[in-house]
Structure 1
Amino acid sequence: MPVPFTANCVNKWVTNILAFIPEDSYYKDQSHLSMEERVKTNYDHSECDGSPACYFSIFQALKRGSAIELPVYSYVEHTRMQETVRVEPKKVIILEGILLLTDAAFA
């Protein structure tokens, strides 16, 4: 799976104090769709993502000191994988993604 440039820079910089949550990890599972249908998905439309309430609850869990299981999205398969990555709470939490800015909870 290709690592987005921002994530790669962040991972090399301050992983001991920073939790990085990419919006792409929460693209909806499309495993029920054919590959032909998956590639037609418009990822710039907020309907592709998990709900803003989902992101806010993840942020709150990390802020409270709880670890989360971050979904892994495959850019090759155009869907979520079954595996997850454990993210521990850190002093700094970055929720990366422009569509997050469409929700007042993050304003």
Structure 2
Amino acid sequence: MTDWVDVAKDGELKEGQCRVVDVDDVMVAVFYREGAYYAIEDMCTHDGGELASGEVEGDQIICPRHGARFCIKNGKALTPPAYEDVYAFPVRVEDGMVQVCDDRFD
């Protein structure tokens, strides 16, 4: 069974903000954008660097190391040097808490 991990209180993250949480030893970046929460693995598929400290432009996160862009909504790799997508995790709001889980091994 999948365990849900608390990220923040609903409303705590402001537009464009991100919070990184450890979900079963996987770093997950949770974004708030246009009234919704999105979660992707905090690891660039180009070189394994973290993504969360990158700039958010619209629904894209720009890798701070080499400039690859990923969609924060679905993890799609949008520009080189990254060609592989990052995993997008399910997010929910339960009892006023934003939560994320890693459902890959259920």
Pick the structure with more strand per residue. Answer: 2
Pick the structure with more helix per residue. Answer: 1
Alignment TM-score, normalising by the size of structure 1: 0.30
Alignment TM-score, normalising by the size of structure 2: 0.30
Whichever of the two has the greater Rg, that structure is: 1
Structure with the larger RCO, 1 or 2 (CA within 8 Å, 6+ apart): 1
